[in-house]
Amino acid sequence: MIDIDISALADNISRFCYIVTVFFNTLLIYLTTCHTTKQIVGTYRNMIVIFALLGMWFATSDILLLHSYNGSFVYFTLGSTFRNSKASAEKALLMYGGMYGVVISFIAVQFMYRACVLSKPTWAKHFDGFKLTIWLVFVLVAGLIWANGSRIVSPDEYAYQYIEHEIMVEYGVSVRKIAIFTFLAYNADGTFRSNTLCSLGSLGLLAMYLYTTCLICGTIMYRRMQGKFCKLVMKEWEDTIGANYIPEPSMSVVMSRM
């Protein structure tokens, strides 16, 4: 039977995906800035470049942290990048979580911009020039909210005791020596943990707001594009009928010849 090191295989897959991500995002930036100067211009062009840069930043933080064990609501890193500094590893974990908030919030901003362009082109001016910086501030605030949602579930003594045995058995390390954040539903007395409720509540509301924004804007874009497509089809049909129109004799002329 072939003995496969699952951990090493997962690490190699992560590194391969990182290389692919950086390559295609770099290619996207190059094509956007050098070969689409006439087709893609203005604010949307800047958005494409910014989103590609955010994607590479997110992938870089992922390859540095190599986090795992998320399925049990335990968020930690065993990567060697920050092995000598637990505080640095904790900050990196918070940055990684914040980057997820940054990415999805920027996607929501892109959806809003596209919806404005299709429905009310005059509204698109609110994304041009310096105003784009304001939207970037909104994106960063969303990232800070997401990072803070992880910070407020920093483990206490009960959380350490709750997961200490599992981490030692599965990974062979002391949970007190690694950067870790825990989402525990209950305290020792069976009551709900307030910090977990606050964290999941804030992250859930933020995610709901951002994804709802994408859904609404996506619906608006679909309806506008559908309406414009129907108008285009009708115009082409009318032009075709007009070009092939052959006058026919009226009924009175036909009857007079009978």
User: How many Cβ atoms sit within 10 Å of the Cβ of residue 119?
Assistant: 15
The answer to whether 93 and 148 are in contact (CB under 8 A) is no
Q: What pLDDT, on the 0 to 100 scale, is given for residue 255?
A: 44
Q: What pLDDT, on the 0 to 100 scale, is given for residue 77?
A: 76
Integer Cα distance of 169 and 237 in angstroms:
71
Q: What pLDDT, on the 0 to 100 scale, is given for residue 51?
A: 78
User: Cα 27 to chain center, whole Å?
Assistant: 19
Q: How far from each other are the two terminal CA atoms of the chain, in whole angstroms? A: 96
Measured CA distances, 6 to 9, 11, 13, 79, 104 (Å): 5, 9, 10, 15, 30
Q: What pLDDT, on the 0 to 100 scale, is given for residue 83?
A: 65
Q: Which CATH superfamily is domain 6-244 in?
A: Rhodopsin 7-helix transmembrane proteins (1.20.1070.10)
Integer Cα distance of 120 and 11 in angstroms:
47
Digit-by-digit pLDDT tens for the chain (258 residues) are 455 555 566 667 767 877 888 888 888 888 878 877 666 667 777 777 887 888 787 777 666 655 444 334 777 777 656 667 788 888 888 888 888 889 889 989 988 988 888 888 888 888 888 888 899 999 999 999 989 988 888 888 888 888 888 788 877 888 888 888 888 877 878 788 888 888 888 888 888 898 888 888 888 888 887 777 677 767 766 666 665 554 555 444 444 444
The answer to whether 193 and 186 are in contact (CB under 8 A) is yes
User: Residue 257: in which H helix or E strand, if any?
Assistant: none
Given the DSSP bridges, would you call strands 67-68 and 74-77 parallel, antiparallel or unpaired? antiparallel
SS3 of 74, please? strand
The answer to whether 107 and 212 are in contact (CB under 8 A) is no
Q: What pLDDT, on the 0 to 100 scale, is given for residue 27?
A: 86
* Side chain identity at residue 258, one-letter code: M
What's the alpha-carbon Rg for the chain, to the nearest Å? Answer: 28
Strand partners, 239: none
Integer Cα distance of 50 and 55 in angstroms:
9
User: How many Cβ atoms sit within 10 Å of the Cβ of residue 226?
Assistant: 10
Q: What pLDDT, on the 0 to 100 scale, is given for residue 84?
A: 72
Q: What pLDDT, on the 0 to 100 scale, is given for residue 140?
A: 93
Q: What pLDDT, on the 0 to 100 scale, is given for residue 137?
A: 93
Copy the structure tokens of residue 54.
């955010």
User: How many Cβ atoms sit within 10 Å of the Cβ of residue 38?
Assistant: 6
Measured CA distances, 24 to 27, 56, 102, 115, 243 (Å): 5, 10, 20, 26, 47
Copy the structure tokens of residue 247.
């006058």
Integer Cα distance of 116 and 209 in angstroms:
18
Q: What pLDDT, on the 0 to 100 scale, is given for residue 1?
A: 47
Domain boundaries, the chain: 6-244
